């Protein structure tokens, strides 16, 4: 679903999501990170190093990401 920038805040608020949403209107970040497909998830450790990334979405991906986050927390 593509929504205009003006509609992002109301859309996010209606979902009750409790995390920060960042926009990349010019695609600068997308190009810098070589992102081709969305969604594109980066898992970043406490030192700022990208330790994992994943493109697209399939049911169950969130459980895999959750396990990776738990493993990351255990090693820090």
pLDDT of residue 26 exceeding 60: yes
In the prediction, which pLDDT does 2 show?
A: 60
Whole-number average pLDDT of the chain: 87
N- to C-terminal Cα distance for the chain? Answer: 36
Query: What is the Cα–Cα distance from 9 to 17, expressed in whole angstroms?
Result: 11
The domain limits of the chain are 24-75
What's the CATH number of domain 24-75, 3.40.50.300, 3.30.1540.10, 3.40.30.10, 3.90.1150.10?
A: 3.40.30.10
Take residue 48 and report the two structure tokens written for it. 């700022």
Take residue 57 and report the two structure tokens written for it. 């979405």
Residue 66 to residues 15, 59, 70: CA-CA distances in angstroms?
21, 13, 6
Hey, how many other C-beta atoms are within 10 angstroms of the C-beta on 53? 13
In the prediction, which pLDDT does 42 show?
A: 94
| 60-76: average pLDDT | 89
In the prediction, which pLDDT does 1 show?
A: 52
For 33-66, what is each residue's pLDDT tens digit? 999 988 899 999 889 999 999 999 999 999 999 9
């Amino acid at each position: 679903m593509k929504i205009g920038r003006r509609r992002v805040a109301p859309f996010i608020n209606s979902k009750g999501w409790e995390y920060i949403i960042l926009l990349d209107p010019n695609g600068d970040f997308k190009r810098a990170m070589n992102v081709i497909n969305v969604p594109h998830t980066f898992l970043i450790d406490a030192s700022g190093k990208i330790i994992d990334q994943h493109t697209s979405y399939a049911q169950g991906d969130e459980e895999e990401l959750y396990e990776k986050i738990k493993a990351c927390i255990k090693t820090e």
